Chain A
């Protein structure tokens, strides 16, 4: 990491002061000739240090580009996809000259990607962000993305399953033992600071903040619910999930969403029973 011009100059001045032979350079003027010279040398050194930094960045990029394609490479490459841009001929990147950074960002529609290895080929899950929440790609976007991946993927990676699905659906039944001084029997705050039921909001927020392709662990969800003001004991009595058109399957400990993320799709899927409970000492 390059030092700043000031740091280098101070270093030189310190050396000058420490040196016996340079003792005659004792003018305290800020524009003393010797001090000007230290500045000139400092700027040259600073330029050189910066060039070394740039060089290091360039070499690192070269090394990374040469590295064999790992699962991470696929995941990162998926995020580089630009909807509506043409790839450079025989290359796996875009020519973005003439486009502003904002335009490029707008074209990068894929916000999340996850790659898993299968007995045959790879499975690539992707999702975009719509109105602050994850969502599946539109069919036309998915078609363009498939073409992009088929052009840049390694030869022999066959099949490369590319998926962008609607979220898995989660059904939860909760028994929440609440503090009657903070919440009412319907789960709303007594002080009226929020129109939503805090527990319901927390469940949805928790699902939103899950990492893409992360596992939902019920024990962690309980920990999160414990943080809600007024909740004494959160107890999950039933948890079910499904993907596609399959029937709901119950799970006790954890669930790995097939689409990479899961949501409460219908408000009725989240059933919360509120039971008053004074604070346990």
Chain B
């Protein structure tokens, strides 16, 4: 089975878009990799690509031609970094008690 390497900030939906041209492949990716559709992926990991045909050839080709790598992964850490504020602070991470 084909494999794909996860780039930083990519989520499973990005991989579905990049590999099969459509979000419709999201569940196929989740099933072959035995993970949840909302799991945070670790950059550098290798995931399996499901054995199905490209769903939307136009989008698949456009992304490929423009060498665009979709990366919309948004982890809890990213959220805290963007929003900031006391509600998103972690003790001993960005909230030092001295």
Within 8 A of A (CB), among B70-84: none
Within 8 A of A (CB), among B9-34: 23-24, 26-27, 31
Provide the bound-state CA to CA distance between A4 and B1, in Å. Answer: 25
Decide yes or no whether B37 CB sits under 8 A from chain A. yes
Residue pair A101, B1 in contact (C-beta under 8 Å): yes
Provide the bound-state CA to CA distance between A47 and B16, in Å. Answer: 13
Number of contact residues on B: which range applies?
Answer: under 10
Residue pair A50, B1 in contact (C-beta under 8 Å): no
Q: How far is the CB of B38 from chain A (nearest CB, A)?
A: 9
Provide the bound-state CA to CA distance between A4 and B26, in Å. Answer: 12
- Interface SS majority for chain B: helix
- Interface SS majority for chain A: helix
Residue pair B27, A54 in contact (C-beta under 8 Å): yes
Residue pair B23, A5 in contact (C-beta under 8 Å): yes
Residue pair B37, A47 in contact (C-beta under 8 Å): yes
Decide yes or no whether A264 CB sits under 8 A from chain B. no
**A residues in contact with B37, CB < 8 Å:** 47
Task: Count residues of chain A with CB under 8 A from any CB of chain B.
Answer: 9
- Given A47-B37, A54-B31: A5 and B24 within 8 A (CB)? yes
Q: How far is the CB of B24 from chain A (nearest CB, A)?
A: 6
**B residues in contact with A101, CB < 8 Å:** 1
Q: Smallest CB-CB separation from B36: which chain A residue?
A: A51
Decide yes or no whether A100 CB sits under 8 A from chain B. yes
Decide yes or no whether A43 CB sits under 8 A from chain B. yes
Provide the bound-state CA to CA distance between A140 and B23, in Å. Answer: 49
Provide the bound-state CA to CA distance between A92 and B31, in Å. Answer: 23
**A residues in contact with B27, CB < 8 Å:** 47, 50, 54
Q: Smallest CB-CB separation from A102: which chain B residue?
A: B1
**B residues in contact with A43, CB < 8 Å:** 23
Contact with B along A87-116 (1 / 0, CB 8 A): 000000000000011000000000000000
Residues of B within 8 A of A (CB): 1, 23-24, 26-27, 31, 37
Residues of A within 8 A of B (CB): 4-5, 43, 46-47, 50, 54, 100-101
Further contacts, 12 of them, CB under 8 A, given A100-B1, A101-B1? A4-B24, A5-B23, A5-B24, A43-B23, A46-B24, A47-B26, A47-B27, A47-B37, A50-B26, A50-B27, A54-B27, A54-B31
What are 10 sample pairs from A and B whose C-beta atoms fall under 8 A apart?
Answer: A5-B23, A5-B24, A43-B23, A46-B24, A47-B26, A47-B27, A50-B27, A54-B27, A54-B31, A100-B1
